[in-house]
Each structure stands twice: as structure tokens, then as C-alpha cells.
Amino acid sequence: MKKTLYFYLMKEQLGPLAVCLAGLLVALILGRMSQLTLYLFMSSITVWDIAQMIGLIIPHIALYALPMACLIGVLMAFVRLSSDNELIALRCAGIGFQQLAPAVLSVVILTTGASYYNSIVLLPAANQAFAVKLRSLGRAIVPALLKEGVFIDVIPNMVFFFNRVNPSDQAIEGVFIQDSRKDGVTINIVARQAAIFDQAQHDRILLNISDGSITSVRKNFEQAQVVHFQSYDLAFPLSTLLAESEGKRRRAEMSLGELWERYKQTGNPRSGLEVHQRLALPLACLLLGCIAAPLGASFQRGGKLSAVVMGLTIFLVYYLLYAAGNGLGENGLVPPGIAMWLPNILGLALTLFLWWKVQREAHFRLPGLRQLWRGKRSAARSVQIATKTRKLRK
């Protein structure tokens, strides 16, 4: 392949890929912004703290965004080349589709390498920094709890109401707490007074409550229990402030070698799944990108929408297989390796089929919305004509 054609194809793919990746990152980050901005307006957390948190969650988001961006970016490039008849011009010049493989492989290998670096190096480091930042943010959220006369829901699945608050010694009078963290059970705590303590050595916030009662009610109202107490300690691990699972957070902070050692020692399938996930998901960039090139080239002019729908369907099927494998692996029904690598194995088979199909210059012909509408109208007219004919015969 000539250098001019090689760099032209690279540019055609990298542009849509970068735009798609940026859009996915923004969309996924906005999904986490609602909770982060809640802390911004209800505590002493600054905009800079929020920006740091966003930066630290980008590696985790990129692990899932890169495969889809690679698929859509390469797909859109080849759909445009096919719709503008540039691929036909290349065939007329004696350049077959397989000769375009170096440009495709360069893009997908570059994306796959970046994804592996993100998964193996950046992700555990970012998760460790996120945990440290989370602890500092947890202490910054303490002032948000020290508000009187308002309902406070800073901590997920919990509601606080304090009648009087003394910020100087963090003493509280008139306490109402509703705790819905346990499924199927709602716990209400009513007490005369309380005090908040920051236990930095245990990475938690402690609420010492005095002279009150605890009412526990199940959701079906079949069982209720009331307990009176003189002193009760209610602790909040700092991880709960962002609804993070403690075990999951620790695994996410480990390197690939540490995870593998834990998996061999404990046999915990979740550790094994984390190892194979960090290895399998980056490879999806390679497979989905190689699927996208022949898929985009196989659609004739006017099939842009059908090609995009087909690409999104392939990614959705891949993600559903990944989610199903993850669930089966966590329950011990499937070995972690098979659970995480099965979508890639199926993706490899689809890649080989599509490259074989496009080399034979076979095209996909999916009916568009207009054709479907015309088909429905023709069927309706046929039914009307048949009905009138029957009436005339009678």
C-alpha cells in the first residue's frame, strides 16, 4: 500500500474515532456528575475537588468507551468510503479490500495498546488515588451533615434531620435518622442528642447517639421491632459516601499481579473476573475495529443508517454477553476465563466471516424505514382489494 493511501485511510478513521470517544466520555461522566455536584453545593468541596474526581474516574470509563469508539469510528470511515464509491475506485485501480488491512490494523492496534496501558497501568493507579481523594472528601462532607431544620440526604439511602446543631463542638439536639441501606428493611432512629466524630484512623465518620429508640419495619409491614437505648454508635465508612462497595474498591486498586495472586490464594471468582476483564476488554478494541471495517464497506450507497444500527447492535450484543458472563462468573457457574473471553471468541469468528464476505464483494441489504413503510402500505392495499372482491362475489 502506498504511503499516501495509508495515511489517508488512517486520517479517515482517527477523526470519527476521536469524536466518538470524546462524546462517550462526556456522556458517561455526566452520568456521575449529579452525585458529585450534590456534594459541591452541600459541603466545603470545591470545584477543583470535583475536577480531580472526574479526572480519576476517566480511566475506568475509558475501559468501556474505547471499544465502542473504535467500532463506531472505523465503521463510519468505511461507510463514508463505500457511499462515496471510493472503495469501488480502489478496486478499479487494482487495490483489493485486504490490501487496506494495514491501515485498519494500525488504528485498532494503536487503540488496543492504549486500552491495555489504561487497563494495566492507569486504572489501578487512578483507583488508588480515587480512594485517597474519597477519604479526604468524606471529611469535607461532615459540614454538610451539620445543618439544622432541614432534611439531609448526602449519604445514599439515608435521611437525617437535626433540630439544633452546634458547629463548634459538633453537638446535636433532636435527632431523626431513616436508614434504608438494608434491602427490605427500613430503620428509623429518634433520639434526644448526638455528636459527630471523625475517626481518621478507621477511615470512617461516627455518629454517637444518646437517649433514643430504634424502630425497624419490613417493607411488607409483617414485622416490626422497637429498641430503646441510652447510647448507640452509628458508623459510616467513607466509601459509602459515594456508594462504593468496599471489597470492589480494594480489588480495583490492585495491580494485575496482585489480583492474580489473590485469585490463586483464595479462589474468589470476583478476583479472577477482574483479572480477565482487564485483559479481555482492551482486546475488544482490536476485534470490534476489525469487524467495523468490512461491515462498513459491505453497505451500499444510502445504507449509512443501517450500518450504524448494525454496529450499535453488535456492540450491544457484545456488552450483553459480557454482562451475562460476568454474572455467571460471580455465581461460580462458569470459570472466570470462559465468562470474560467468550464474547471475544465470538467476535473473532464474526471478524473472519465479515472479511471473507467482503472479499467476495457481497453486500448487506437491510430494508430501510421507507421500504418497510412501502411494504406495509402494499400489504394493507392487498387486504383491502381482497375484502372488496369477496363482497362483490357475495
**pLDDT value at 113 more than 90:** yes
Residue-level pLDDT at 62: 92
Q: Do residues 229 and 276 both lie within one domain?
A: no
Residue-level pLDDT at 372: 46
**pLDDT value at 249 more than 80:** no
Residue-level pLDDT at 22: 92
Q: Is residue 385 part of a domain?
A: no
Please name every residue paired with 151 in a beta bridge, in sequence order, or none if there are none: 161
Out of 40-44, 78-82, 267-271, 345-349, the most confident range is 345-349
Q: Do residues 110 and 85 both lie within one domain?
A: yes
Q: Is residue 143 part of a domain?
A: no
**pLDDT value at 110 more than 90:** yes
Measured in residues, the chain has a length of: 394
Angle at 161 between CA 160 and CA 162, to 5 degrees: 120
**pLDDT value at 245 more than 90:** no
Residue-level pLDDT at 230: 92
**Confidence band for 369, pLDDT divided at 50, 70 and 90:** very low
Q: Is residue 394 part of a domain?
A: no
pLDDT tens, residue by residue, 9-45: 888 899 989 999 999 899 888 877 765 665 555 555 6
Q: Do residues 189 and 326 both lie within one domain?
A: no
Residue-level pLDDT at 373: 47
**pLDDT value at 125 more than 80:** yes
Q: Is residue 257 part of a domain?
A: yes
Q: Do residues 204 and 339 both lie within one domain?
A: no
Residue-level pLDDT at 40: 57
Q: Do residues 210 and 280 both lie within one domain?
A: no
Q: Is residue 212 part of a domain?
A: yes
Please state, for a pLDDT cut of 70, what percent of the chain lies above it. Answer: 79
Residue-level pLDDT at 246: 46
Cβ atoms of 312 and 252 within 8 Å: the answer is no
pTM: 0.68
Please name every residue paired with 165 in a beta bridge, in sequence order, or none if there are none: 172
**pLDDT value at 368 more than 50:** no
Residue-level pLDDT at 377: 55
Q: Hey, what's the cell of 148?
A: 439544622
Q: Do residues 117 and 252 both lie within one domain?
A: yes
Interval 51-67 mean pLDDT: 89
Q: 3-state DSSP helix/strand/coil percent for the chain, to nearest 5?
A: 65, 15, 15
Q: Is residue 40 part of a domain?
A: yes
Q: Do residues 79 and 191 both lie within one domain?
A: no
**pLDDT value at 240 more than 70:** no
Q: Is residue 108 part of a domain?
A: yes
Domain count, the chain: 2
E strand spans, the chain: 151-152, 158-166, 171-179, 185-199, 204-218, 224-237
Domain boundary among 211, 242, 273: 242
Q: Do residues 231 and 259 both lie within one domain?
A: no
Interval 132-138 mean pLDDT: 69
Cβ atoms of 17 and 69 within 8 Å: the answer is yes
Q: CA-CA distance, 390 to 394, in Å (whole number)? A: 6
User: Distance of alpha carbon 295 from its chain centroid, rounded?
Assistant: 25
Residues contacting residue 325 through CB under 8 Å, at least 6 positions apart: 334, 338, 339, 340, 342, 343
Cβ atoms of 185 and 216 within 8 Å: the answer is yes
Amino acid found at 152: I
- Evaluated on CA atoms 285, 310, 64, 30, the torsion sign reads positive
Q: Is residue 145 part of a domain?
A: no
Q: Do residues 236 and 253 both lie within one domain?
A: no
Please state, for a pLDDT cut of 90, what percent of the chain lies above it. Answer: 24
Q: Do residues 126 and 183 both lie within one domain?
A: no
Domain that holds residue 281: 3-138+248-363
**Half-sphere exposure (CA, 13 Å, Cβ side) for 70?**
29
Q: Do residues 311 and 351 both lie within one domain?
A: yes
Q: Do residues 177 and 257 both lie within one domain?
A: no
Domain boundary among 217, 242, 267: 242
**Confidence band for 367, pLDDT divided at 50, 70 and 90:** very low
Angle at 306 between CA 303 and CA 312, to 5 degrees: 140
**Confidence band for 182, pLDDT divided at 50, 70 and 90:** confident
Please classify residue 277 by burial: count the beta carbons closer than 10 Å to its beta carbon, then call 0-12 exposed, 13-18 middle and 19+ buried.
Answer: buried
- Least-confidence region, from 68-77, 105-114, 329-338, 374-383: 374-383
- What CA–CA distances, in Å, run from 253 to 120, 124, 248, 269? 11, 5, 9, 17
**pLDDT value at 247 more than 70:** no
Cβ atoms of 339 and 273 within 8 Å: the answer is yes
Domain boundary among 189, 213, 242: 242
